[in-house]
Amino acid sequence: MNRFDKNRRLLWFALAGLIIIFGLIFSGIFRGLAKGAAFVSRPVFLSKLNLSQGFENFSSLWQSKKALTLQNKELEAKLEEYRLRLVYADFVATENAKLKELLGAGTPLTLSFLASVLAPPRVSFYDTLLVDLGTAEAFVGAKVFLPPNVLLGEIAEISGRLAKVKLYSTPGEVLEGKLSGSGTPVTITGRGGGNFKIILPREVEVILDEPVALAPDFLLGFVKKIDFDPREPEQEIYVGAPVNIFSLQYVFVQK
């Protein structure tokens, strides 16, 4: 082997060694980078996972809170209905005896007949009822009420077997009545939708849920709101009917 071949062989061995060394170095670097990337990406992945779970938990919590709010509103409405029933029952217990004594000849039920409501206020004209008189005879001005003594209005027109009832809550309708608790005389003005308004001097004591009556002790409604400003000489009392006039199916008509 000449000297030239020997040098060439050594050169090849050296080159192969360099290739192996560089391969090992770059392989280690790449493995390190891969491990570093995995180390960096793991917290990011976990944070995304936690964020996704957090959104799911928040959505579930929001839906539950919404359902609970709706249930609370329904329960409050039922409690208000039961409370009004108790107030009305108390009024009937104290006032019905007076009513029988004043009428003498009998209670309103014995002096009336049943009439079907064909069109409540939401179908007929505002704060009017269209009723079927059947075969009974009625007259314009006859009182219309619900048992035992909730006064609603009176017959305004009659055409054959049909009659139009004007409710006392008709806007602008003026009535004379009293606060049942104190007996204070009041002037009542219809506001529509089964609602009324009373204006009194500010020194007159009025309480919430106090019954408002018409002679002879018919119930018109209950005090629902009192607007009182010490700087004003008067107070405004808002009264609501004890029944829902929009869902009436029958009424009693005075004979």
Is residue 22 domain-shared with residue 67, that is, in the same domain?
A: yes
Is residue 69 domain-shared with residue 3, that is, in the same domain?
A: yes
Angle at 230 between CA 225 and CA 236, to 5 degrees: 30
Is residue 68 domain-shared with residue 114, that is, in the same domain?
A: no
Give me the CATH number covering residue 235.
2.40.10.350
Is residue 55 domain-shared with residue 81, that is, in the same domain?
A: yes
Is residue 18 domain-shared with residue 58, that is, in the same domain?
A: yes
Number of domains in the chain: 3
Q: Name the stretches of the chain with pLDDT < 50.
A: 26, 29-30, 32-34, 36-41, 44-46, 51, 98-99, 101-106
Structural domain containing residue 187: 174-245
Q: Is the dihedral of CA 242, 246, 252, 253 positive or negative?
A: positive
Is residue 4 domain-shared with residue 90, that is, in the same domain?
A: yes
Of the candidates 76, 104, 132, which is a domain's last residue? Answer: 104
Is residue 55 domain-shared with residue 123, that is, in the same domain?
A: no
Is residue 63 domain-shared with residue 47, that is, in the same domain?
A: yes
Q: Both ends of the chain: CA-CA distance in Å?
A: 145
The separation between CA 45 and the C-alpha centre of its own chain, rounded to angstroms, equals 46
Of the candidates 53, 77, 104, which is a domain's last residue? Answer: 104
Looking at the whole model, is its pTM more than 0.75?
no
Is residue 89 domain-shared with residue 129, that is, in the same domain?
A: no
What is the 3-class SS of 32-100, one letter each residue? Answer: HHHHHHHHHHHHHHHHHHHHHHHHHHHHHHHHHHHHHHHHHHHHHHHHHHHHHHHHHHHHHHHHHHHHH
The two tokens of residue 182 are 């104190």
Is residue 185 domain-shared with residue 145, that is, in the same domain?
A: no
3-class DSSP state for residue 146? Answer: strand
Of the candidates 70, 85, 104, which is a domain's last residue? Answer: 104
Contacts of 233 (CB under 8 A, 6+ apart): 201, 202
pLDDT of residue 126: 76
Is residue 122 domain-shared with residue 96, that is, in the same domain?
A: no
Is residue 186 domain-shared with residue 144, that is, in the same domain?
A: no
pLDDT of residue 148: 82
